[in-house]
Structure 1
Amino acid sequence: MRPLVTGTASNENENESKDRRTRVTVLVALAANLVIAVAKAVGGLIAGSPALLSEAAHSVADSLNEVFLLAALRRSRRPADERHPFGYGKERFFWSLLAAVGIFVMGGCFSFFQGVEALRNGAEEKFSGYIVGLVVLAVAFVAEGVSLLRALSQVRKQGGAAGMRDPALRTVVAEDGTAVLGVTLAMVGMALHMITGQVVWEASASLAIGVLLVFIAYRLGIEARDQLIGEAADPESTGRIRSLLKAQPEIDSVEALFTMKTGLDSVLVAARVDLMPGMDSEQVEDVAVRIKASIARTVPEAQQIFLDVTDRSARETAADSPAATGERGGA
């Protein structure tokens, strides 16, 4: 049977609209992170603050990751071709994995380095340096908060949990949420350093930021890995497909059902079913076409549907044939 490729103009327009909104969200985050990264780096050098320099590395990592996410949005919507017959939807997951690696290497590792160096060698800061650092962090907190609110607003518009399935949007939310918490840690560490004169507070803040970034990078990386290696469709969609198949009067049994996400909003469906006995080839063809159309209507993201249909009586007859019996006997 040939696959059934579905997709209406309304679905395509809706997906393009979602991508445009996500692109704006990513661009807002990129602009905020670029400005903040420069401010944090300058403030960190002036203040000699390890926590502030760790936050600068965090913002640089986030800026690079936003570039990755913009590439994901552009490349994942390319149409299928001969070399990639199922399309380029998984590019979204690939670039999200690179973003997770960027958070780990550029953000987490540098933050650990700054924290350890501060504990080993100390850090001398003037009062003016503390003030500059705290002002920069306060501005960063506001900017990151605005970017986070923009991302969360889009998540709500796209259905909450459903919106978080978009790896680009999920990464922006994770980055901005982590940035707000990281800036808070840096401010607390710097303030305690200023009050007590003990650099251990600021070094601990830098190490805490590193732990936070490594954890977020790990979570994002695991999610991207699962999607890259072939994650099944969500249980609700799979259950609807299975129920639809079992409800067909021409189907005797559903022997196997496999689903795999091929992109953000595209799923491959493959099912092996036994038909009721006594159907000729033309009836089988008609039934298969109707069932595929029903699946496509029930689960719009099912863009490739494959049915392996078998007449149970024909299969049992073939299994009981002398040739088949002889093969089993000789095994």
Structure 2
Amino acid sequence: MSRESETAPHPDGRTDAATGPDAATAEDARTRVTIVVALGANLVIALAKALGGLFAGSPALLSEAAHSVADSLNELFLLASLKRSTRPADARHPFGYGKERYFWSLLAAVGIFVMGGCFSFFQGIEAMRSDSSETHTGYLVGLAVLAVALIAEGSSLVRALLQVRGQARAAGRSMRGAIRAGDDPALRTVLAEDSTACFGVLVAMAGMGLHMITGKVAYEAWASLVIGALLVFVAYQLAKESRGQLIGEAADPALRQAIQEFLDEQPEVDTVTGLLSMRMGTQSTLVAARIDLVGGLDSEEVEDVLVRVKADLTKQWPIADQIFLDVTDASAKDRAQARRDRQLLDETVAAESDRNDAGGGGGAQDSG
């Protein structure tokens, strides 16, 4: 089993014995290496593309240079997110700084849109207006630069995919399921950037090649527009994910279901009338439950039950580090609503499981 699979969380939020704060730090270290690799590749590629684009007079190549510059700045944002999100809680931020990850990922999405997508559209429109043609040497230089860029971007993409694969195997998910889950916005952003960059390079090569064969710059202009549209789409998707997490997104349905089942199994708990959750960061989740206890418990027994349940929850699911239990008297209406909520949650988890199976799931399942 790979190192990643020893430390990554299970789909329901539980972790193996080797997990916890140290495992989270180790996973962040792997993510930091992935980002640094992507940053180094993008800096070199951006310079090569810019010089090659100016020499060849290629709008598609200049668009790709802008794409790489945007990716380089975004990697700096992501490195900042890793450092700032691990700061301890304080009086102003009692739940910690975990959501810094989502904020800096949102800035990265804006960077992709402004610096990558908009510049690519500008280059494409300008190329449509012109009737320029590159020299034979210019074509060869441009294609050579793009070939080198494809190798570098592909290497960075492989590094990101290997990390996702380790997480997917440990969580019992398919690769598609792990990517869809997107637990770490920094890793998700790098993966999106690298895959988009590889596809963009191929589009730029196709546009330049058709320009070389036909002598029509329109092919490169359309390549720039396609690259721009792709970057805008990716930026929108990343921004949408970050927005959802910033305004308060519930924990993974499998985690909510597991916590619900755990509470239902406690002998002192009669009914769980409500279960709310919110992701406070990649390693922090707030859980608030309204529970109706069985009759006959005195105040000291109630206190002991709440302390024990909280401790057991945190021990079994370290990611649920902010737990609030509200003891309430459940009415018939509350119980009926609780049953409907539970049914809806079970259906959601079953649907996600079916999607993972359809996507080729088959990672290492939890044996505990």
TM-score normalised per structure 1: 0.90
- Aligned counterparts, 1:151-170, within 5 A: 151-159=160-168, 160=175, 161-162=177-178, 164-170=182-188
* Amino acid in structure 2 at the alignment position of 1:206: S
- Aligned counterparts, 1:192-271, within 5 A: 192-271=210-289
Q: Is 1:116–2:125 an aligned residue pair?
A: yes
CA distance in 1, matches of 2:70, 2:330: 58
CA shift for structure 1 position 162 = 4.4
CA shift for structure 1 position 47 = 0.7
CA distance in 2, matches of 1:70, 1:298: 30
* Amino acid in structure 2 at the alignment position of 1:276: V
Structure 2 match to 1:324:
none
User: Residue 321 of structure 2: SS of its match in structure 1?
Assistant: strand
Larger radius of gyration: 1
User: Residue 132 of structure 1: SS of its match in structure 2?
Assistant: helix
User: Residue 276 of structure 2: SS of its match in structure 1?
Assistant: strand
**Is residue 273–residue 330 contact of structure 2 (8 Å, CA) maintained in 1?**
no
CA distance in 2, matches of 1:300, 1:19: 16
Q: Is 1:171–2:185 an aligned residue pair?
A: no
Structure 2 match to 1:181:
199
> Which among 153, 168, 179 is matched to residue 144 of structure 1?
153
> Which among 116, 126, 144 is matched to residue 135 of structure 2?
126
> Which among 51, 63, 75 is matched to residue 60 of structure 2?
51
Structure 2 match to 1:27:
36
* Amino acid in structure 2 at the alignment position of 1:96: S
User: Residue 290 of structure 2: SS of its match in structure 1?
Assistant: strand
CA distance in 2, matches of 1:301, 1:91: 17
Which consecutive segments of 4 or more residues in structure 1 shift more than 3 A? Answer: 7-10, 160-164
CA distance in 2, matches of 1:280, 1:207: 70
State the aligned residue count.
307
* Amino acid in structure 1 at the alignment position of 2:231: L
| CA-atom RMSD in angstroms | 1.6
CA-to-aligned-CA distance 1:266-287 (integer Å, 9 cap, x gap): 1000011111222110010011
CA distance in 1, matches of 2:216, 2:37: 37
CA shift for structure 1 position 234 = 0.3
Which runs of 5 or more structure 2 residues have no equivalent in the other structure?
Answer: 1-14, 169-174, 332-368
CA distance in 2, matches of 1:294, 1:284: 15
**Is residue 240–residue 298 contact of structure 1 (8 Å, CA) maintained in 2?**
no
CA distance in 2, matches of 1:311, 1:101: 48
Structure 2 match to 1:327:
none
Structure 2 match to 1:4:
none
CA shift for structure 1 position 121 = 1.9
User: Residue 250 of structure 2: SS of its match in structure 1?
Assistant: coil
CA distance in 2, matches of 1:108, 1:129: 24
CA shift for structure 1 position 263 = 0.4
CA distance in 2, matches of 1:240, 1:67: 37
CA-to-aligned-CA distance 1:13-37 (integer Å, 9 cap, x gap): 1011111111111011001100110
TM-score normalised per structure 2: 0.81
**Is residue 44–residue 52 contact of structure 1 (8 Å, CA) maintained in 2?**
yes
